[in-house]
Structure 1
Amino acid sequence: MKKTLIPLLSTCLALVAHAAPKPNIIYILADDMGYGDVHCLNPERSKIATPHIDRLAAEGMIFTDAHSSSSVCTPTRYGVMTGRYNWRTHLQEGVIWGYSKPLIAADRLTVPQLLKQQGYNTAMIGKWHLGMELPTLDGKPVMEGKKDQRKPKKTNIDWKGEIKEGPVDRGFDYLYGISASLDMAPYIWIENDRFVGEADNHHPSKPAPGFKKDQVLASIGNKTVEYLKKQDASKPFFIYVPLTSPHTPIVPSAQWKGKSSLGSYGDFMMETDHVIGQIMKAVDASEFAENTVVIVTADNGCSKAAKIDRLEKKGHFPSAHLRGSKADLWDGGHRVPFIVRWPKGVQAGSTSDETICLTDLMATAAELAGTTVPPHAGEDSVSFAPALKGEPIQSTRQGVIHHSISGHFAYRQGKWKLLLAKGSGGWTSPTERQVKPGSPVAQLYDMEADPGETKNLYTSHPEVAKQLLQQLQADVSKGRSTAGSASQNDIENIQLWKNNK
């Protein structure tokens, strides 16, 4: 009996030893970086030097038709972490704040949780902006009864207390970051479930001692490098690196001021590229570089706070050839840079024109880790892993749903894009209030012939508009846009038409 088992055991051990190791995954999410801000994606109309991102693209794959699930911050981050559209929650428009309660439900599977189940170390370094339960001195919610969520006059935070329902309770082994954007209090670092130091409840807009806004980006880079140096090839890891740049406040550090010819925004973009380069340098110096997937993307398009009109006068077009910018339904609001380098699995200098969404991280990570997304999780996530090998994506999703800051919907299927809005659905003119009387109630564009969304075909192709609307309605009502049993949205009625159609 023993003689039979020993060879069998030896064979099994040999198979395990030669099994393909699971790749490490580093997901870098820039904040408000336009498609055209990356030089290699917009060579003729970009005036910002991004040598490190350009090198990443030269050594990996560029996705030319990647979209954030929303044209603003919090909603996109929800989709990245859960593989599910944000408007399936109570967040139907806008964003949450630095003191807000958790948007991700406790029983909702996240990407880091899924990967932890597959033996990964998980870490997040950077900006969360998905809410958490902050400890208070009186047991009452931080912002109870107060309207000014961005810059309150007074708070009741217990700076020595335990933070709950944050990143470490949503799947991350390690956290070093901030609760929300750098233009939203509180301004203090958080490590795991504790504040680093103490801020002032009587002056909430004042940063905690040692917290300097123009040093946050560099600190995120340094902490990421520090974490990478502690890893080795014996266990796979997932690092989520949501940067704070080039989002407002546009605060390049002293050494980067004046580096571009475009003012503070150009300087901040160059510093953003530099930090990504530092992370890449740490990866390249490691023993696991060959089997590490590095993804660089953004949560939405460039913000008008960058003074886009001035940038364009100087020859820099943050949205490249696309119409609109952050907050909009037009592609400039949500078509984002998406670059993947994986020496072991991606051909250098390759390109994919497949339409993908940032909700696709969950299904892709699952496939790369050798598992599948369980039922009633990642309802809007499709794996783009086949595209990394130059193969077609086998999608059970009919199309991709876009969402603007004001909650307007759009639907993209193949070359067609339907917008349930008369104007931008966001901040770019014409907004919904600026559209001329008598304008069509919606917009329809052929994105192959007209990527700049200049010729509205809604009235001339009613059959196409009808088909897209029906598919959008089905994806919303079923609680999922991928194959599988119906799921439930968190709210009962989701309003598709915001213009009283």
Structure 2
Amino acid sequence: MQPHRWSRSSRLSRRSVVGGVAGAATALGVGAGSAGASVGAPGTAATDAAERPFRAAARRSARRPNILFILGDDLGWADLSSYGSPHIRTPNLDRLARQGVRFTDAYSGSATCSPTRFSLYTGRFPGRTEGGLAEPIADRSAGLEPTHPTLASLLRDAGYATALIGKWHCGYLPEYSPTKSGWDEFFGNFGGALEYYSKLGLGGEYDLYEGAVREGDAEYKDLRYYTRVLTERASEYVRRDHGGKPWLLNLNFTTPHWPWIADGDKEESAEIVRRIKAGEKGALFHRDGGSVEKYTAMVEDLDRSVGEVLKALKKSGQERDTLVFFASDNGGERFSYNWPLSGNKASLQEGGIRVPTIVRWPARLDGGQVSHEPVYTPDWTATLLEIGGARPDRAYPLDGTSLAPYLLKGEELAERELFWRVRGERALRRGEWKYYRGKSGRDQLFHLAVDQREQADRASGEPELLAELKAAWERTEKGLLPYPG
């Protein structure tokens, strides 16, 4: 897929809309955190001063950075106060945004958990690999082939220490494991979800392991609240002496994914465990539980946990030379706050794939900045490989574009096409325009600069553009594996 240059005036009109709202917020004494993220959306100020449009800093560093890549699970685009949430308070992530760059138009690689993780680990569309066709992986029939190069294996070959703590969700033992795909260390769960105290997974199995490489490897017994356990492990890792090596830590929380169990909810936990052990299929989905209040508690707990890990990083003396990345693996679910976006997890509408994204690297990036460039998960793989001095495998070409020239040198990003495919839906974004076909089978066209909510279908008024974007989607799709069945 070749980069496509869109008109300069189109790009400027997007910035003028957002910039005008941000400026109005500043005049009213409100930080631009919510205004820049969601035009006209309610929200609370999360910045001490108005954010500035992104501009690369003229700084250099001889050191390759450590990489702390943090993923929330099913966290919606506006679930952080710095992205406009009127009721969820996330001071630690808001502080991270003030210290770095907040992206308003950042996307996940897919609309559900495991395909996005495939796109992150491989830097390629999920449909390039058989395991990525599962949306998401729900059994032991699919996974990330150990022979496929990954972000971790390529950085490890370039001299990095590598670890994954938390949710893997790219296949089960004995065939698949993080330790088979480039991570030196693994501590976490293999499946897509688990009960936060008992660690029971979707099939009723215990799902917490340390360093597992073979079926039958010992489970790690810890019945404390899972987010606490992961936070402790991650804090220990960033404090550790890695023998002078830079390190990559993929920290994959399960919060705020269902079941809706907050820290301390042991009675609710015990009831779900009872139902799982009684053989009730789908008990972990917790369709009869949860609330906005419970979800708020889980997101705020995630924020506290990230804060603890960042505090450990600072105390270790490595904060300046560590690139911290925070995002969600896909859009929010039942109780998420996505306004003004439409759709949620599993949909290719904006609410299913646009995600909060923050990057901080004190040695190279100025803080208090906001970027409105459209970017998505495979881009970050390419970016981190370039920054880390690792070379992609030519036999497995990346689908993402490295953002390093934009972030570190101020080079303008060429307009290009961001592509998504899930069963029954398709989407492609080029510049300010988005082509979308949902389960209705109708081709639609939206001008996202003025219609983030995707309510004004411009297909009839822009037939040539619609045809062009549809053809671009179909050209890319031809290069992917077909869905089975």
Contact 1:103/1:130 (<8 A) preserved: yes
**Contact in 1 for aligned 2:173/2:213 (Cα 8 Å):** no
Query: How far did 1:106 drift?
Result: 2.8
Instruction: Answer whether contact 1:444 1:457 (CA < 8 A) is retained.
Output: yes
Q: Is the 8 A contact 1:256 1:271 kept in 2?
A: no
What is the alpha-carbon distance in structure 1 between the residues aligned to residue 474 and residue 449 of structure 2?
A: 24
The DSSP-based 3-state class of the residue aligned with 2:400 is coil
The residue that corresponds to 2:338 in the other structure is: 319
What pairs with 1:351-366 in structure 2 (closer than 5 Å)? 351-366=370-385
Determine the structure 2 residue equivalent to 1:275: 305
Q: Which residue of 2 aligns with 1:303?
A: 333
* Residue of structure 2 in register with 1:165 after alignment: 176
User: SS of the counterpart of 1:36?
Assistant: coil
Q: What residue is the counterpart of 2:320 in the other structure?
A: 290
Aligned length: 395
Q: Secondary structure at the match of 2:118?
A: helix
- Whether the 8 Å contact between 1:362 and 1:373 is mirrored in structure 2 is no
Q: CA deviation at 1:46?
A: 2.5
- Is the contact made by 2:134 and 2:142 (CA closer than 8 Å) also made in structure 1? no
- C-alpha deviation, 1:64, in angstroms: 0.9
Distance 1:19 1:54, change over 3 A: closer
Matches within 5 A, 1:328-477: 328-389=347-408, 391-392=410-411, 394-395=413-414, 398-404=416-422, 406-421=423-438, 425=439, 432=440, 441-477=442-478
**Letter paired with 2:173:** E
Please tell me whether the aligned partners of residues 108 and 328 of structure 2 are also in contact (alpha carbons under 8 angstroms).
yes
Distance 1:233 1:254 in 2: 38
> Closer, same or farther in 2 for the Cα pair 1:89/1:374, shift >3 Å?
closer
Cα distance change of structure 1 residues 19 and 245 upon mapping to structure 2, 3 Å threshold: closer
For residue 231 of structure 1, the aligned residue among 238, 241, 245 is 241
For residues 301 and 385 of structure 2, the distance between their equivalents in structure 1, rounded to whole angstroms, comes to: 32
Contact 1:102–1:133, Cα closer than 8 Å, also in 2:
no
CA deviation after TM superposition for structure 1 residue 420, in Å? 2.0
Residues in 2 aligned to 1:266 and 1:197: alpha-carbon distance in whole angstroms: 37
Deviation at 1:52, TM superposition (A): 0.5
Aligned to 2:120: 80
Identity %: 30
- Show the counterpart of 1:240: 250
SS at match of 1:249: coil
- How far apart, in 1, do the equivalents of 2:216 and 2:292 lie? 36
Structure 2: how far apart are the matches of 1:459 and 1:187?
Answer: 53
Distance 2:185 2:358 in 1: 25
Query: What does residue 486 of structure 1 align with?
Result: none
Distance 1:194 1:108 in 2: 17
Any idea what SS the aligned residue of 1:301 has? coil
Maintained 8 Å contact 2:173/2:214: no
1:145 aligns with none
State the alpha-carbon separation in 1 of the partners of residues 467 and 473 from structure 2: 10
**Aligned: 1:253 with 2:254:** no
Within 5 Å, which residues of 2 pair with 1:198-217?
210-212=221-223, 215-217=225-227
Q: What is the distance in 2 between the residues matched to 1:412 and 1:286?
A: 41
Distance in 2 of aligned mates of 1:374 and 1:194: 24
- 1:96 maps to 137
Amino acid aligned to 1:221: T
Task: Report the counterpart of residue 208 of structure 2 in structure 1.
Answer: 189
Q: Secondary structure at the match of 2:365?
A: coil
Distance (Å, rounded) in 2 between the aligned partners of 1:339 and 1:19 = 21
The one-letter code of the counterpart of 2:252 is: P
Q: Look at both structures and tell me which one has the larger radius of gyration over its CA atoms.
A: 1
Residues 336-345 or 101-110, more deviating: 101-110
Kindly report the root-mean-square deviation, in angstroms, between the aligned alpha carbons of the 2 structures. 2.8
Tell me the amino acid that sits aligned with residue 403 of structure 1.
R
SS of equivalent to 2:354: coil
CA distance in 2, matches of 1:233, 1:25: 16
Paired letter, 2:238: L
C-alpha contact (below 8 Å) 1:76/1:86 kept by paired residues: yes
How far apart, CA to CA, are the structure 1 residues paired with 2:168 and 2:400? 20
Distance 1:106 1:209, change over 3 A: closer
Give, in whole Å, the separation in 1 of the partners of 2:215 and 2:143.
23
Which whole-Å deviations, capped at 9, do the CAs of 1:255-278 have from their partners, x for residues lacking one?
999xxx942111101111111111
CA contact (8 A) 2:425 2:437 kept: yes
Instruction: Quote the offset at 1:252 in angstroms.
Output: 1.1
CA-CA distance at 1:229 after TM superposition = 1.5
Aligned CA distance change for structure 1 residues 232 and 104 (closer, same or farther; 3 Å) = closer
Aligned pair in 2 of structure 1 residues 459, 494: CA closer, same or farther (>3 Å)?
farther
After superposition, what is the alpha-carbon deviation per residue over 1:205-247, rounded to whole angstroms, capped at 9, x for unaligned? xxx89454x7111111110111112135821000001111100
Q: 1:24 aligns with which of 66, 72, 82?
A: 66
Distance 2:123 2:97 in 1: 25
Cα-to-partner distance string for 1:73-104 (whole Å, 9 max, x where unaligned): 1110110100111123334452112x524522
Cα distance change, pair 170–232 in 1 and its aligned pair in 2 (3 A): closer
**2:202 partner amino acid:** M
Q: CA deviation at 1:198?
A: 8.9
Q: Do the aligned partners of 1:78 and 1:103 also contact (CA within 8 Å) in 2? A: no
- Is this contact kept in 2: 1:232–1:287, CA < 8 A? no
Secondary structure, aligned partner of 1:274: helix
Classify 1:233/1:168 alpha carbon distance in 2 versus 1 (closer, same or farther; 3 Å): closer
Q: Is the 8 A contact 2:435 2:445 kept in 1?
A: yes
* Alpha-carbon distance change, 172 to 80 in structure 1, aligned in 2, over 3 angstroms: same
- Aligned residue in 1 for 2:280: none
**Residue type of the alignment partner of 1:29:** L
Change in CA separation of 1:256 and 1:378 when aligned onto 2, cut-off 3 Å:
farther
Q: 1:407 to 1:117 in 2, by over 3 A?
A: farther
Shift of 1:196: 12
> How far did residue 462 of structure 1 move?
1.1
Relative to structure 1, is the Cα distance of residues 51 and 108 closer, same or farther in structure 2, using a 3 angstrom cutoff? same
The residue type equivalent to 1:54 in the other structure is D
1:115 and 2:117 are equivalent in the alignment: no
Aligned to 1:59: 99
- Give the Cα separation in 2 of the matches to 1:467 and 1:27: 36
Matched, 1:46 2:86: yes
TM-score (norm 2): 0.76
Corresponding letter in the other structure for 2:170: L
What is the DSSP-based 3-state SS (H/G/I as helix, E as strand, rest coil) of the residue aligned with 1:119?
A: coil
